[in-house]
Amino acid sequence: MRIRYNRLYFQRIAITLIAAVMTLVLFVQGRHAGNDSGLAALSAERSGSIVVQVSGDVAHPGIYRICGKKMTIDAIFMAVPLCAASLVPSDDLLSKPLQTGDAVHLMCKARENRALISTTSMKTSQLLTLGLPLDLNTMSQADFELLPGIGPALAYRIVGFRQKNGDTLAFDDLLQVDGIGEKKLKQLYPYFNHSISK
């Protein structure tokens, strides 16, 4: 009876140990991304990389960080296009170099058996959320209102000043807008890809 009891005791310990080891192995494996193909959009800041959005007829739409100088076709293939056969790298748009903040949209045309690709810019709200630099010359009044310290009246003056000056402003030109002084300019500095000149 005692021998049988010892055997059951050791079997229970062995089963418990095996279960603990298996749980640990599964936990460790679950901590690693199953497919490290860039599907996780953003990670730590890396020099020489760009951040783009891919949407449309792709298996994995989303935001991608791409290392190095890549083209539109590279971003589309990271997102796994649903009409890959019709994508020809020699196409001008497919070979266009990407920049941070670009948004690429792929639409597969079943009848013509070809792909339609368009590129625009990501929304200002997305850029702000991701901590990416804004383009002073493409923002609307509503976009400016998303920034701290800029209300509807100031946003209106900024857009009006830009329109009067050929729709192109350098960051320092904001000082000429009524309501923006050195203090507010420094507050806005982190949001733009421009430098402040003294």
What share of residues in the chain are helix, strand, coil (percent, to 5)? 40, 20, 40
Indicate if the pLDDT at residue 33 is higher than 60: no
Using CA atoms, how far apart are residues 47 and 52, in angstroms rounded to an integer? 15
What integer pLDDT is reported at residue 13 of this predicted model? 78
Token pair 């806005």 is at which residue?
188
Q: What is the pLDDT of residues 67-123, one digit of tens each?
A: 877 888 888 888 999 887 677 655 677 778 888 899 999 988 766 667 788 888 899
What integer pLDDT is reported at residue 31 of this predicted model? 42
- How confident is the model over 48-69, as a mean pLDDT? 88
Using CA atoms, how far apart are residues 109 and 112, in angstroms rounded to an integer? 6
CATH code, residues 133-191: 1.10.150.280
- What 3-state class would DSSP assign to 178? coil
- 51 vs 12, higher pLDDT: 51
CB of 54 within 8 A of CB of 79?
A: yes
pTM comes to 0.64
Indicate if the pLDDT at residue 143 is higher than 90: yes
CB of 144 within 8 A of CB of 150?
A: yes
What integer pLDDT is reported at residue 21 of this predicted model? 66
CB of 38 within 8 A of CB of 88?
A: no
What integer pLDDT is reported at residue 82 of this predicted model? 87
State both tokens at 31: 């901590």
> What residue segments make up the domains of the chain, in order of their start?
1-32, 49-121, 133-191
- What 3-state class would DSSP assign to 65? strand
CB of 59 within 8 A of CB of 79?
A: yes
110 forms beta bridges with none
CB of 188 within 8 A of CB of 139?
A: no
Q: Cα–Cα distances in Å, from 147 out to 131, 169, 191?
A: 12, 17, 8
Token pair 């420094």 is at which residue?
186
If DSSP states are collapsed to H, E and C, what string results for 66-123? EECCCEHHHHHHHCCECCHHHCCCCCCCCCCECCCCEEEEEEEECCCCEEEEEEEECC
